[in-house]
Structure 1
Amino acid sequence: MSLPKFVLYVDSQFLSPYALSVFVALQEKELPFDIATVDLAAKANHEPPFVATSLTRRVPTLVHNDFSLSESSAIAEYLNDLWLGTPLYPIEPQSRARARQVQAWLRSDLLPLRQERSTEVVFYGPTSAPLTAEGQASVQKLFAAAEALLPANSENLFGEWYIADVDLALMLNRLVFNGDPVPERLAAYATGQWLRPSVQLWVHQQRPPL
């Protein structure tokens, strides 16, 4: 049986943490796909060709044959439900629910941290700007949750690797790559996750100058 056709729409700078998450999911499922870039700075996501493709006008958007889907966690669950290969979510219901919670939280909270340590510091280089009080509060909230989530002596959140590990590691690496203080255990976790081959394929994408 031939594999279906996938096209993944990502931002032209390859900066989106959510595009990274879907890219890794596709790699882990060993599904062949093409990449199409969207220039968000030029508002290309609001131009008719992309509007006709993406219901929410956001990246990532995945096109699977004649079906398109946006929102990274929805895409990951779709891929996990349809295809075998590396599981993206735990099978056990409470662990699966926790993994979904982690993803939803990282996408909806910690805004000061996401703004003050954007993914530019990960993929283009650090900033010298200090964290504000709001940023520091977000950092401490992140550390407290990560410490509670990550079992002792474990390389992953749920024993085995799942896609939520990529999402949490990237949030931590906003600080690690900028040289901000990060607890040793969390820094080691984030660094280890970053070395996963599927993640490194995203890291080594050709990025245009900012």
Structure 2
Amino acid sequence: MSQSPLRLYVDSIFTSPYAMSVFVTLREKGLAFDLVPLDLEAAQHQTADFARLSVTQRVPTLVEGDFALSESSAITEYLDEAYPETAVYPVDPRQRARARQVQAWLRSDLLPIRQERSTLVVFCGQQMPPLSPVAEAAARRLISGAQTLLAGDPAHLFGEWSIADVDLALMLNRLILNGDNVPADLVAYARRQWLRPSVQAWVNQPRPVL
């Protein structure tokens, strides 16, 4: 293992959307880091050693020297403040707040989508049955919100690319990559985000065959 000042703990099958968000942030900033996969099914995130690092015992967790931080949006916000040379959030305070709003929404709402369209759909090609009525309602909320945010078909949410674009594209891809009905403009938006080299670096991590 290299002696990078940064270590990022992620899930060993590389399907956590939150680990992806931090991984992309680190890559976009050009920061060297060691990637440490944990087998969540084997409860490696519940060991005493990891509990000393991560107060939440979750991935992603970032370690920098004697400083450790969990929860993806907290990590990406910290990295943007600690390493400001390449921003992953909008510079304008109001747009920055809106980017954080998008992240908070995607993490706290739309649970039926996350339950019925796991990221195994996104990263491992798993196909799931039709959405339940409650998940269809959540999908309509997602699509409506995304179309409002992307009115006028901009390349990115807030002018320049931000990490919120990756988070939104991933949520949309839960539906798109399962073949669910998503408007063409949102499909095109998600595909644009997916082509970023930093995103492709995560997408192309080795995973088990289902």
TM-score range, shorter chain: over 0.9
> What is the one-letter code of the residue matched to 1:124?
C
Q: 1:6 and 2:3 equivalent?
A: no
Q: Distance in 2 between matches of 1:85 and 1:188?
A: 29
Q: Is the 8 A contact 1:169 1:194 kept in 2?
A: yes
Partner of 2:89: 89
Q: 1:110-163 CA distances to partner (integer Å, 9 max, x unpaired)?
A: 000001001000111132411000110110000010001113131100010000
Partners of 1:86 and 1:149 in 2: how far apart? 24
Q: Secondary structure at the match of 1:52?
A: helix
1:200 aligned partner: 200
- Poorly superposed stretches of 4+, deviation over 2 Å: none
What's the offset of the Cα at 1:191? 0.7
The answer to whether the 8 Å contact 2:16/2:119 transfers is: yes
Gaps of at least 5 residues in structure 1 are none
- 1:47-80 deviation per Cα after TM superposition (whole angstroms, max 9, x unaligned): 1111111111000000011100000000001110
- The answer (yes or no) to whether the contact 1:8–1:36 under 8 Å persists in 2 is yes
For residue 45 of structure 1, report the CA deviation from its aligned partner. Answer: 1.0
Correspondence 1:138 to 2:127? no
Give TM-score scaled by structure 1 length: 0.96
Q: One-letter code of the match for 2:91?
A: I
Number of residues paired by the alignment? 208
Same amino acid, percent of matched pairs: 59
Note the C-alpha offset of 1:208.
Answer: 2.8
Q: Is the 8 A contact 2:4 2:33 kept in 1?
A: no
Q: Give the Cα–Cα distance (whole angstroms) in 1 for the partners of residues 128 and 114 of structure 2.
A: 15
Counterpart residue number, 1:123: 123
Matched residue of 2:53: which SS? coil
Alignment match, 1:177: 177
TM-score (norm 2): 0.96
> Match for residue 35 of structure 1?
35
Shift of 1:4: 6.2
Query: What is the alpha-carbon distance in structure 2 between the residues aligned to residue 182 and residue 126 of structure 1?
Result: 18
The letter of the residue matching 1:71 is E
Is 1:165 equivalent to 2:165 in the alignment? Answer: yes
The farther-off stretch of 101-110 and 42-51 is: 42-51
The verdict on how the C-alpha distance between 1:44 and 1:4 changes in structure 2, with shifts beyond 3 A counting, is closer
Deviation at 1:187, TM superposition (A): 0.6
Instruction: Give how far 1:108 is off.
Output: 0.8
Q: Does 1:101 align with 2:101?
A: yes
